[in-house]
Amino acid sequence: MPVNTENMVKVFGRPESLTDARFTYCPGCHHGILTRIIAKAIDELGIAERTVTIAPVGCSVFAYLWYKCDAVQASHGRASAVATGLKRANKDLIVISYQGDGDFASIGTAESIHAANRGENITVIFVNNQIYGMTGGEMAPTTLVGQRTTTTPDGRDPAYFGYPIRFSELIATLDAPVYVTRQALYDTRRIMDAEKAIKKAISYQVEGKGYSLVEVLSTCPTNWHMSPLEANRHVAEVVTEAFPLGDLVDRGG
């Protein structure tokens, strides 16, 4: 029977600002979902023609391939400083810095904190997968207590390696940031929430309100040695205990 499409409404489609390049991410990795929802926000805000995305060092190093936008690849950890330079040079640009947890919360600690503290009018997407994905699964600053990685083979012992760092809470103590939030992608509801948060963060930049940070709890099925489904469940049940979801600061409204 032919399908009558007359009264159908399109509820899902490929975002306009996403290129046809194939993702380099492993199956089930949240980097892919996140890339898509950023593109959707760029579409909805109509800013593709003035957006510059920053690709970090990490599994998302190829992020310059995904968007039909200008892009720059930054050295490991320094994306927030590069974002500062871009935005200060041309305030009409919409600058989106995409950074992993090793990138943003370890090697880039100084650049991350000080870009936030200066209240740079940029948006940082901080992908917390509690691991160094690209280099093969070493401990990240966000690795959970007891979590096994290639450099914590017996599990992260806080007496020896310290505790997982809650970087967004740290940023939230500063006066300048307008929006700091932690989101997740393990089910449809969380994805929709994350979409809203990312759109809000970028719209604050468009309105000139200042610095936003969207931390996204993400999976690394490959280095967690879990199936994508197990990884989703792990985020929902375990990771969110250490990293509670929700807004930490919202001064933009």
Where on the chain is the footprint of ligand SF4 (CB under 6 A)?
25-26, 29, 31, 59, 129, 133, 220-223
The stretch near other proteins (CB under 8 A) out of 85-93, 145-153, 208-216, 230-238 is 85-93
Total residues interacting with other proteins, rule: CB under 8 A = 35
Structure tokens at 54: 């920053």
Q: Among 245, 243, 253, 163, which Cα is nearest to 204's?
A: 253
Binding positions for other proteins, 46-65, rule CB under 8 A: 48-52, 55, 61, 64
Sign of CA dihedral 140, 146, 148, 153: positive
Q: Among 72, 68, 74, which Cα is nearest to 21's?
A: 68
**Helical pair 109-117 and 79-89, crossing angle rounded to 10 deg:** 40
Least distance in angstroms from the C-beta of 112 to ligand TPP: 11
Is the separation of the CB atoms in 129 and 138 below 8 Å? Answer: no
Which amino acid type is present at position 244?
P
101 binds, among ligand SF4, Mg ion, other proteins, none (CB under 5 to 8 A by kind): Mg ion
- The CA-atom distances, in angstroms, between 67 and each of 49, 136, 171, 219, 221 are 11, 26, 28, 22, 24
Q: At which residue do the structure tokens 């590069």 appear?
A: 82
Sign of CA dihedral 95, 98, 101, 103: negative
Contact track, Mg ion, 86-125, x by CB under 5 A: --------------xx------------------------
The stretch near ligand TPP (CB under 6 A) out of 10-18, 54-62, 146-154, 238-246 is 54-62
Least distance in angstroms from the C-beta of 54 to ligand TPP: 13
Diameter of the chain measured on Cα atoms: 66
Least distance in angstroms from the C-beta of 228 to ligand SF4: 9
Q: Which of 30, 33, 34, 133 binds ligand TPP (CB under 6 A)?
A: 133
25 binds, among ligand SF4, ligand TPP, other proteins, none (CB under 5 to 8 A by kind): ligand SF4
Distance separating alpha carbons of residues 184 and 72, to the nearest angstrom: 26
Give the binding site for ligand TPP (CB under 6 A): 57-60, 76, 100-103, 127, 129, 131-135, 140
Give the binding site for other proteins (CB under 8 A): 48-52, 55, 61, 64, 67-75, 78, 81-90, 92-93, 110-111, 113-114, 118
